[in-house]
Amino acid sequence: MNYRKEINIQSRGQSILELLIAAGIFAVLLSVVSVTLIDGYVSTLAAEQNSFALPLAEEGLEAARSIRDSNWDDLVIGNHGLAVSSSRWIFQGAEEDLSAKLNQGKRIVIVEDIGADRKLVRCRVLWKTGSRDNQIELATYLHNWQKETLPPQADWLLVDTTNAKLSANQRQLNGLVFSNTGTSAIIIDRITVSWTNSELIEQITFAGTDVWTRKGPGTPTGRQPSGTEIDIQDFTISAGGTVSPTAFVFNGKMKGAVFDIIFTMKDGSQKIVENIVPQ
């Protein structure tokens, strides 16, 4: 009788142990399956969000192109967010909040200078999937395609000497007319006047403005001999503009003198006008 009870107790204990082991194995399997399912779900979600983030990155590069097309100078070096103002893209802040589209999402447009009239633009979109950090980045090179290669300024300076003449006291060369035949403003930076006598130049006047005198403005100061390069006060001629009257004033009579004038423009180009014989 006791022997049977012992067998029953042992059998019952073994069954409980087997149940516990089975339950443990099931729990482990359930945990593995759960982790696998969750990880799979997160990966699937991340892939879906990645496909959603890609157009946002592409849009960021298109926005940078739009800013470039409006004004190259607005494509400022640094990190930028994007915004729309008056139906146009603009840079605003250091990053853009995309949390309405992606979990903790943000977009950053990064502009780097890589040479004259050339910039590297990268658009980075960042977001979170659960605790996982995600990002996608696209890049492109942008050029200042609107920059016009202009000819030398001297090519646009026309000097008409047809009405060149001396003043009544024979101390001034008058009557030269300057014109800008180009599509942009030009600037006369320096002038070298040469003549065939020993008198000295003491003043240069364009359209009623003294651009150089022996006492200033301009350098060098003092009366100057023939052939001296004179750094005048920069004189701008607008596109299509004409300058008159003009006067080159000397300290003595210039009757019989022949003149040569070199105009050095702000870009360094030169216009040489020779054998000016005043009436």
Over the chain (279 residues), what is each successive 10-residue block's mean pLDDT? 52 63 62 51 66 92 95 95 95 96 95 89 94 92 82 96 97 98 95 98 98 98 98 97 98 98 96 96
The whole-number pLDDT of residue 260 equals 98
What class does CATH assign to 153-276? mainly beta
Give me the pLDDT at residue 178, please: 98
Check residue 26 and give its pLDDT. 60
What is the model's pLDDT at position 22? 62
Residue 219: DSSP 8-state:
B
Domain boundaries, the chain: 54-147, 153-276
Q: Enter the pTM of the model.
A: 0.52
